[in-house]
């Protein structure tokens, strides 16, 4: 059987399964719903999707749902997007960031200890950013001190998505101050129920509170939960961040593509379908969204065939973030004044709810988190286009 | 792009590197005929290379890099039309148009032509605009308004009048051509002609997209070299983040338009002219020529005063990009894209 046929078969199979199983009317059900019901819906959907073997197509052979070829992974992402299935937001960090980091850098024991938990629905969060270490992540200060077979953690993380619900945390800490900032970092796996951990949710501009601050007061982590070597945390963190830029954007670009129909529906709903200016802008957005999909696909192909070059991932993320901004901006424009009167939100849909101001605000997730647009531009210009780096020395000459 | 095409591209780039910017019409035309570039899309049974639209686009891209003045695209369109036709003497005609150095040219924009008669006794009336290098052509490729007829028209008859339209873009010499009851030979009529017109316009969109991206890439590279060499405030300009970020933005726009073009060419293989391929062609052409203009506009600013000097090539790219945005099917590409999308949704 040719691979073309086998992906065709898989497509049919996935499509049929989704038709049967995507919770009907989930968008309505998840609008202005409380946290508990949302969690329940996420848990149910995750259980179903992973039982069917479609939650972990990016996992390696030997793991449930894993061992899919690139073409097969793409088929699954495309079909999930096409079927307008809810996103597994609660499990996103677990399935991608945590799993990819463990697969790439974790020990066999760590993989065996944690990956089954992820399949069982454990929630993970990422504890990298700190109040004074955002774009300049390497300057982070949360301290991990080795005492016997334990690390003692003190400090603070912030903007950690889903931290208030998380079972575990991917924690980047400082174990050494003597060398260059990147050299003294260490990557740990933390049980969020450990004594000394406290979490304070941050209320967001969208009305949601999906990220939080995490405080550490003499929190103990066993050395068994050290990923890689002490002092080698920067390299491990890169594996975590790469998972976000590669695979997930293939799915998210496809979702944006299928969500283009929301723009058409919005035009129909308020009688602007024939407006020539809006139609032109729609044409522009369609071309850009298709460009984002093509770029993400091309990136994945390069990655799989080991032809990835420095900056490729940044191109994908920067273009996606900008296309998403353009898409949601046009939605706002179409919705007009009426769009401003419904401050509700829909859970599980992230930036594609059809509530345009909400989607527009959520589009900033992609231009700020995971390395902002400006940081991607630095990477592209310096490492891809080989333009000179910023001068290192710098003197403050003025006051405020 | 497969290995073979990559090799072809490398050699094409080498050839074009010696051709200057802009690559002069006469020498470039001679060279591309000699190298067999016009044989790319001709099937092997007609002594061609049997390569597809992707090869044609690759070559268009290389020519675009050097702002080639040679009428490669219209020639390729006429050859494609002939290949698709059932004309008896097509092998002989093809030999002249591919390796013989004879030029059959075509409109790069719109035309307003009616045809009557059939076979080799057609009569054509109307006007073609933006016909490239018409004064060097022995034949014109023409299609009628209703797409019911695609024809070859000999250029040397009294009923054919070509008037030069000097324009801002000096890298392509365009003509308006009037047909006053000109005689022509049908390449296709009726439904076959309709399909052929769709195919030709589709191919034209893809090739124009490639030309635009070739130019955009070359200009961005040129500009980055300039910014790196030029020192102000005791630093290379290229070290200023305000300028670096703009270059990064141009790079990402080019990368996405390129990915879209390549992905489309892969997906349409063998389906040139189908509704889906036409839709993809529109998107690729639109995104590529919009990107080209944006790159050219920005690069003029990034070049500073030298960008305003005619000896520096930046303005040539700018003018070519501005023209390219208006070439192709007339009317708005954005509006066409939206319409095709809305039509698909309602199915
Ligand atoms: C929705 C969301 C979810 C997040 N989830 C997580 C999470 O789960 N875990 C986690 O660890 N973190 C998370 N973050 C944090 C995120 O990684 C940081 O917000 C991001 O790295 C930017 O850091 P900052 O917010 O401190 O901005 P700053 O670094 O203070 O940047 C402020 C502005 O300055 C610009 N800037 C900064 N440096 C430069 C430079 N060198 N050149 C040019 N411009 C520059 C930035 O682009 C930005 O526009 C999340 C953020 C958001 C918005």
- Domain for residue A92, yes or no? no
Q: What's the A186 CA to ligand 1 centre distance in angstroms?
A: 20
Q: By the 8 A CB rule, do B208 and B327 touch?
A: yes
Question: In B66-106, where does DSSP find H-type helix?
Answer: 72-84, 90-98
Q: Which of A282, A287, A381 faces B248 most closely, judged by CB atoms?
A: A381
- Tokens representing B308 are 């305003």
- Residue A359 is predicted with a pLDDT of 94
Whether the predicted pLDDT of B301 surpasses 70: yes
Asked if the structure places residue A113 within a domain, the reply is no
**How many angstroms separate the alpha carbon of residue A280 from the centre of ligand 1?**
34
Together in a domain, A15 and A146: no
Query: Long-range pairs for A14-17 at CB < 8 Å and ≥24 separation?
Result: A14/A54, A14/A75, A14/A76, A14/A79, A14/A80, A15/A79, A15/A82, A15/A83, A17/A52, A17/A54
Nearest residue to B130 (alpha-carbon basis) of B209, B54, B55, B204: B204
Is there a domain that residue A396 lies in? no
Supply the CATH number for residue A279's domain: 1.20.140.10
Partners of B329 on chain A (C-beta within 8 Å) are none
Which of A264, A280, A294 is nearest residue B260 as measured by Cβ atoms?
A: A294
Answer yes or no: is B148 within a domain. no
pLDDT of residue B347: 64
Measured between CB atoms, which of B224, B247, B263 is closest to A294? B263
Q: Is residue B81 part of a domain?
A: no
Q: Which of A286, A308, A321, A386 to mutate against chain B (most B CBs within 10 Å)?
A: A286
State the Cα–Cα distance between residues B189 and B87, nearest whole angstrom: 12
For strands B111-118 and B139-143, give the pairing: unpaired
Cβ-defined contact of B256 to A295 (cutoff 8 Å): yes
Q: Under a CB-based contact definition with an 8 Å cutoff, are residues A206 and A32 in contact?
A: no
**Three-class secondary structure of residue A179 per DSSP:** coil
Interface contact A287-B337, CB threshold 8 A: yes
Calpha distance B307→B310 (Å, rounded): 8
Ligand 1 near A374 CB (within 6 A): yes
Residues A318, A270: one domain? yes
Give the domain extent around B332: 194-346
Residue B41 lies in a domain: no
Please tell me if the CB atom of residue A135 comes closer than 6 angstroms to any atom of ligand 1: yes
Q: Which atom of ligand 1 is nearest to the CA of A204?
A: 1
Mark yes or no for CB contact A381/B345 under 8 Å: no
**Is B235 close to A391, i.e. CB distance below 8 A?**
yes
Candidate ranges A21-25, A79-83, B255-259; pick with highest mean pLDDT: B255-259
> For chain B, where are the alpha helices, taking DSSP H only?
3-17, 25-34, 53-65, 72-84, 90-98, 190-229, 241-268, 275-303, 314-326, 333-346
* Burial (CB count <10 Å: 0-12, 13-18, 19+), residue B125: middle
pLDDT tens column, B268-295: 988 999 999 999 999 999 999 999 999 9
A153-191: per-residue pLDDT in tens? 999 999 999 999 999 999 999 999 999 999 999 999 999
Instruction: Please count the structural domains in chain A.
Output: 3
Position A399 scores a pLDDT of 64
Closest residue to A261, CB basis, from B252, B337, B345: B345
A 10 A CB-CB count for B334 gives: 23
**pLDDT value at residue A1:** 39
Interchain CB distance below 8 Å, B342 and A290: no
The Cβ of residue B94 has, within 10 Å, a number of other Cβ atoms equal to 22
What pLDDT score was predicted for residue B30? 96
CA A194 to centroid of ligand 1, rounded, Å: 27
Q: Does residue B235 sit within a domain?
A: yes
Residue of B nearest to A276 (CA): B335
- Return the ∠ at Cα B289 (arms to B285 and B293), rounded to 5°: 170
- Is the CB–ligand 1 distance for residue A367 below 6 Å? no
Q: Is A244 a catalytic residue?
A: yes
Find chain A residues with C-beta within 8 A of B341's C-beta: 260, 264, 282-283, 286
Beta-sheet pairing, B174-189 with B149-154 = antiparallel
Q: Are residues A228 and A248 in the same domain?
A: no
Tell me whether residue A82 is in a domain.
Answer: yes
Q: Is residue B332 part of a domain?
A: yes
Pocket test for ligand 1, best of A136, A139, A157, A159 (most atoms within 8 A of CB): A159
Whether A278 and A318 map to the same domain: the answer is yes
Chain mean pLDDT for chain B: 96
Mean pLDDT of A6-31: 92
Task: Provide mean pLDDT across the span B100-119.
Answer: 95
Q: Is residue A367 part of a domain?
A: yes
Cα(B245) to centroid(ligand 1), Å? 17
**A97 within a domain of the structure (yes/no):** no
Nearest CA to ligand 1 atom 1: A365
For residue A373, the CA-to-ligand 1 centroid distance in Å is 9
Q: Which of A213, A234, A255 is where one domain is finished?
A: A234
* pLDDT > 90 fraction of chain B, expressed in percent and rounded: 95
Judged by average pLDDT, the poorest of A31-35, A77-81, B305-309 is A31-35
pLDDT at B232: 96
Q: What is the pLDDT of residues A114-134, one digit of tens each?
A: 999 999 999 999 999 999 999
Sequence-ordered list of residues with C-beta below 8 angstroms from that of B333, at least 6 positions apart, any chain: A283, B282, B285, B286
Strand ranges for A108-149 from DSSP E: 124-127, 143-147
Structure confidence at residue A32 (pLDDT): 84
The reply to whether residue A288 touches residue B241, judged by beta carbons under 8 angstroms, is no
| CB-CB contact of A325 with A351 (8 Å) | no
Are A256 and A289 found together in one domain? Answer: yes
So what's the ipTM on this one? 0.91
Contact B97, B126 (CB under 8 A): no
What are residue B164's phi and psi, to 5 degrees? -65, 140
Q: Does some domain include residue A109?
A: no
Nearest residue in B to A376, CA atom: B248
Alpha helices in chain A (DSSP H): 3-21, 26-29, 35-51, 70-82, 92, 99-105, 108-119, 233-245, 247-258, 260-269, 276-304, 312-335, 356-362, 364-368, 373-379
Asked whether residue A276 falls in the same domain as residue A378, the answer is: yes
For A271-317, write each residue's pLDDT tens digit.
Answer: 999 999 999 999 999 999 999 999 999 998 888 888 989 999 999 99
pLDDT for the residue numbered B100: 93
- Residue of chain B whose alpha carbon sits nearest to that of A298: B259
A260, A297, A319: residue with CB nearest B341? A260
What is the three-class DSSP state of B164? Answer: strand
**Alpha carbon distances (Å) from B219 to B66, B223, B262:** 10, 6, 20
Same domain, A171 and A227: yes
The total number of structural domains in chain B stands at 1
Mutation probe of ligand 1 site: the residue of A314, A369, A375 with most atoms within 8 A of C-beta: A369
> Which tokens sit at A256?
């944006």
Q: What is the pLDDT of residue B1?
A: 74
Higher-confidence position of B195 and A28: B195
Q: Tokens representing A12?
A: 């049919």
Burial A232-249 (b: 16+ CB within 10 A, else e): bbbebbebbbbbbbbbbb
Ligand 1 in contact with A59 (CB < 6 A)? no
> Are residues A260 and A371 located together in one domain of the fold?
yes
Higher-confidence position of A81 and B106:
B106
A166 and A64 in one domain? no
Q: Which residues span the domain enclosing A209?
A: 124-234
Residue A133 sits in the same domain as residue A63:
no
Q: Convert the pLDDT of each residue in B58-90 to its tens digit.
A: 999 999 999 999 999 999 999 999 999 999 999
Which contacts qualify for B189-195: CB closer than 8 Å, 24 or more apart?
B189/B118, B189/B148, B189/B149, B189/B150, B190/B148, B193/B143, B193/B144, B193/B147, B193/B148, B193/B149, B193/B150, B194/B147, B194/B148, B195/B273
> Residue A320 and residue A371: Cα distance in Å, rounded?
13
Ligand 1 atom closest to the Cα of residue A372 is 47
CB B71 within 8 A of CB B327: no
Contact B334 A284 (CB under 8 A): yes
Residues of B whose CB is below 8 A from A261:
345
**pLDDT at res. A4:** 64
* CATH assignment of the domain containing A223: 2.40.110.10
Q: Tell me: pLDDT of B323 over 70.
A: yes
Out of A210, A244, A251, A352, the active site residue is: A244
């Amino acid at each position: 059987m040719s691979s073309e046929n086998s992906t065709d078969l898989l497509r049919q199979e996935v499509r049929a399964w989704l038709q049967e199983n995507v919770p009907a009317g989930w968008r309505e059900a998840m609008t202005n719903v409380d946290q508990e019901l949302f969690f329940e819906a996420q848990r149910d959907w995750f259980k179903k999707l992973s039982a069917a073997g479609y939650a972990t197509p990016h996992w390696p052979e030997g793991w449930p749902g894993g061992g899919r070829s690139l073409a097969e992974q793409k088929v699954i992402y495309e079909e999930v997007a096409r079927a307008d299935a809810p996103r597994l937001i609660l499990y996103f960090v677990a399935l991608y960031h945590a799993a990819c980091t463990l697969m790439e850098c974790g020990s066999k024991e760590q993989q065996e200890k944690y990956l089954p938990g992820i399949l069982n629905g454990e929630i993970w969060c990422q504890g990298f950013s700190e109040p004074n270490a955002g774009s300049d992540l390497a300057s982070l200060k949360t301290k991990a001190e080795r005492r016997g077979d334990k690390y003692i953690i003190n400090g603070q993380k912030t903007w950690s998505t889903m931290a208030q619900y998380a079972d575990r945390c991917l924690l980047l800490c400082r174990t050494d101050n003597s060398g260059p900032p990147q050299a003294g970092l260490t990557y740990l796996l933390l049980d969020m129920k450990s004594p000394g951990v406290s979490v304070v949710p941050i209320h967001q501009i969208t009305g949601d509170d999906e990220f939080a601050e995490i405080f550490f007061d003499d929190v103990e982590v066993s050395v068994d939960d050290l990923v890689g070597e002490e002092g080698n945390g920067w390299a491990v963190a890169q594996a975590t961040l790469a998972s976000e830029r590669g695979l997930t954007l293939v799915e998210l670009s496809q979702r944006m593509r299928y969500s283009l129909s929301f723009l058409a529906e919005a035009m129909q709903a308020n009688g602007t379908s024939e407006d020539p200016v809006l139609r032109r802008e729609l044409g522009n957005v369609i071309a850009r969204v298709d460009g984002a999909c093509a770029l993400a696909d091309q990136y994945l192909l390069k990655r799989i065939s080991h032809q990835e070059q420095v900056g490729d991932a940044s191109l994908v993320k920067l273009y996606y973030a900008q296309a998403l901004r353009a898409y949601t901006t046009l939605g706002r424009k179409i919705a007009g004044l009426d769009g401003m009167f419904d401050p509700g939100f829909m859970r599980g849909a992230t930036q594609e709810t059809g509530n345009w101001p909400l989607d527009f605000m959520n589009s900033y997730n992609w231009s700020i988190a995971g390395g902002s647009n400006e940081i991607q531009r630095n990477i592209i210009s310096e490492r891809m286009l080989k333009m000179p780096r910023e001068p290192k020395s710098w003197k403050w000459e003025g006051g405020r | 792009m497969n290995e073979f095409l990559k090799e072809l591209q490398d050699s094409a780039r080498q050839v074009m590197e010696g051709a200057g910017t802009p690559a002069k019409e006469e020498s470039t035309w001679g060279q591309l005929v000699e190298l067999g570039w016009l044989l790319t899309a001709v099937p092997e049974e007609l002594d061609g290379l049997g390569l597809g639209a992707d090869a044609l686009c690759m070559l268009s891209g290389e020519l675009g890099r050097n702002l080639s003045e040679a009428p490669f695209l219209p020639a390729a369109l006429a050859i494609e039309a002939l290949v698709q036709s059932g004309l008896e003497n097509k092998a002989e005609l093809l030999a002249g148009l591919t390796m013989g150095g004879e030029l059959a040219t075509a409109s790069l924009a719109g035309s307003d032509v009616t045809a009557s008669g059939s076979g080799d006794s057609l009569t054509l009336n109307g006007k073609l605009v933006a016909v490239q290098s018409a004064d060097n052509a022995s034949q014109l490729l023409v299609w009628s308004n209703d797409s019911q007829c695609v024809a070859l028209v000999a250029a040397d008859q009294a009923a054919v009048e070509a008037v030069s339209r000097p324009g801002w873009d000096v890298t392509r010499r365009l003509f308006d051509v009037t047909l006053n009851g000109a005689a022509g030979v049908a390449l296709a009529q009726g439904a076959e002609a309709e399909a052929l017109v769709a195919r030709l316009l589709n191919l034209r969109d893809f090739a124009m997209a490639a030309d635009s991206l070739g130019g955009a890439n070359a200009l961005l590279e040129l500009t980055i070299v300039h910014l790196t060499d030029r020192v102000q405030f005791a630093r290379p300009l290229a070290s200023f983040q305000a300028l670096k970020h703009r270059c990064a933005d141009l790079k990402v726009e080019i990368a996405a338009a390129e990915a879209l073009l390549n992905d489309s060419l892969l997906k349409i293989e063998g389906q040139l002219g189908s509704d889906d391929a036409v839709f993809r062609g529109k998107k690729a052409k639109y995104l590529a020529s919009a990107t080209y203009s944006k790159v050219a506009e920005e690069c003029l600013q990034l070049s500073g005063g030298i960008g305003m000097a005619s000896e520096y090539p930046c303005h040539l790219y700018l003018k070519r990009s501005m023209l390219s945005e208006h070439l192709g099917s007339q009317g708005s590409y954005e509006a066409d894209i939206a319409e095709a999308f809305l039509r698909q949704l309602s199915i």
